[in-house]
């Protein structure tokens, strides 16, 4: 009979959602990379892995109502306009500052033909939103973040999630992210974590807002401005980028710290 085994699996998933989600998220993401390694090739992760893992854990452990709640969070758009401004504007401001600071350190200003490629950001944004952000954010911010915040204080939850999210990018390191850029890349990923967490929390648990910010980050940075530079100028770009995201994280943490009663 299947009743007893299925009940045992459902109970296991319901009682240990994090222990079930994390191996699934990595397995469903890393399988192209692992297959490629066996074949002597390189490959990135499947970004849909975290989303698929969240759906499986919610469906098995909590049923259709929990799955609907995740989809509702992904579509939650009735939040203050300032949250949309933060999601779409902060990555643009960071990248603009990266260019200005990089020029101050000796990099050339972007050429007119490079700036003229800006419409390509729209295509990059849509691809990132419908594939990368859709695959990652419902898993990291929609499923994992609230459960970590039930166990830990907000800052500790961010540290744990940041470490998990940075590790998840392992298949990209060394080829999609060259070795000289790995350290600032991981710092930027880690620093962006509390920003995305506070965005999600502030927007009433909306996963749509982190998805929009994630897609904007990909479109404005690696999808556009990083193409202005090569060699040492590009390496410096990455370090400035990591530093500015760290500053943004610190400012967000200060702005959202609990206020003590008088």
Question: What pLDDT was estimated at residue 262?
Answer: 43
Own/partner contacts of 230-237, CB < 8 Å, gap of 24 or more, are 233/102, 233/106, 233/107, 233/108, 234/181, 235/180, 235/181, 236/102, 236/105, 236/107, 237/98, 237/102, 237/107
Identify whether the C-beta of residue 148 lies closer than 8 Å to the C-beta of residue 157.
Answer: yes
pLDDT digits (tens, 9 = 90+) for 98-145: 999 999 999 999 999 999 999 999 999 999 999 999 999 999 999 999
Q: Cα–Cα–Cα angle for 247, 215, 99, nearest 5°?
A: 45
Cα 260 to chain center, whole Å? Answer: 31
pTM: 0.94
pLDDT tens track, the chain, 262 positions? 456 777 788 898 999 999 999 999 999 999 999 999 999 898 999 999 999 999 999 999 999 999 999 999 999 999 999 999 999 999 999 999 999 999 999 999 999 999 999 999 999 999 999 999 999 999 999 999 999 999 999 999 999 999 999 999 999 999 899 999 999 999 999 999 999 999 999 999 999 999 999 999 999 999 999 999 999 999 999 999 999 999 999 999 998 887 665 4
Helix, strand, coil % in the chain, rounded to nearest 5: 75, 0, 20
In sign, the C-alpha dihedral spanning 163, 169, 175, 177 is negative
Question: What pLDDT was estimated at residue 38?
Answer: 93
Identify whether the C-beta of residue 237 lies closer than 8 Å to the C-beta of residue 229.
Answer: yes
Domain ranges (residues) in the chain:
79-255
Own/partner contacts of 31-34, CB < 8 Å, gap of 24 or more, are 32/171, 33/170, 33/171
Structure tokens at 43: 């490959």
Task: Identify the residue whose tokens are 């939650």.
Answer: 76
């Amino acid at each position: 009979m299947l009743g007893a085994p299925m009940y045992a699996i459902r109970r296991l998933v319901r009682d240990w959602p994090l222990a079930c989600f994390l191996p699934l998220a990595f397995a469903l993401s890393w399988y192209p990379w692992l297959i490629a390694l066996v074949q002597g090739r390189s490959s990135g992760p499947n970004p849909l892995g975290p989303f698929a893992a969240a759906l499986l854990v919610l469906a098995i452990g909590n049923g259709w109502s929990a799955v609907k709640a995740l989809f509702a969070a992904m579509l939650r758009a009735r939040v203050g306009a300032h949250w949309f401004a933060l999601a779409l504007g902060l990555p643009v401001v960071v990248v603009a500052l990266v260019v200005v600071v990089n020029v101050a350190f000796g990099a050339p200003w972007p050429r007119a033909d490079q700036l003229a490629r800006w419409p390509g950001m729209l295509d990059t944004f849509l691809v990132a939103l419908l594939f990368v952000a859709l695959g990652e954010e419902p898993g990291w911010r929609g499923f994992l973040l609230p459960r970590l915040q039930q166990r830990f204080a907000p800052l500790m939850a961010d540290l744990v999630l940041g470490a998990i999210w940075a590790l998840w990018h392992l298949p990209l390191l060394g080829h999609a992210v060259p070795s000289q850029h790995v350290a600032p890349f991981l710092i930027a990923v880690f620093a962006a974590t509390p920003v995305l967490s506070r965005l999600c929390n502030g927007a009433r648990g909306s996963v749509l807002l982190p998805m929009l910010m994630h897609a904007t980050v990909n479109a404005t940075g690696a999808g556009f401005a990083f193409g202005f530079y090569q060699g040492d100028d590009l390496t410096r770009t990455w370090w400035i980028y990591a530093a500015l995201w760290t500053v943004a994280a610190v400012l967000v943490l200060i702005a959202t710290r609990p206020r003590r009663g008088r």
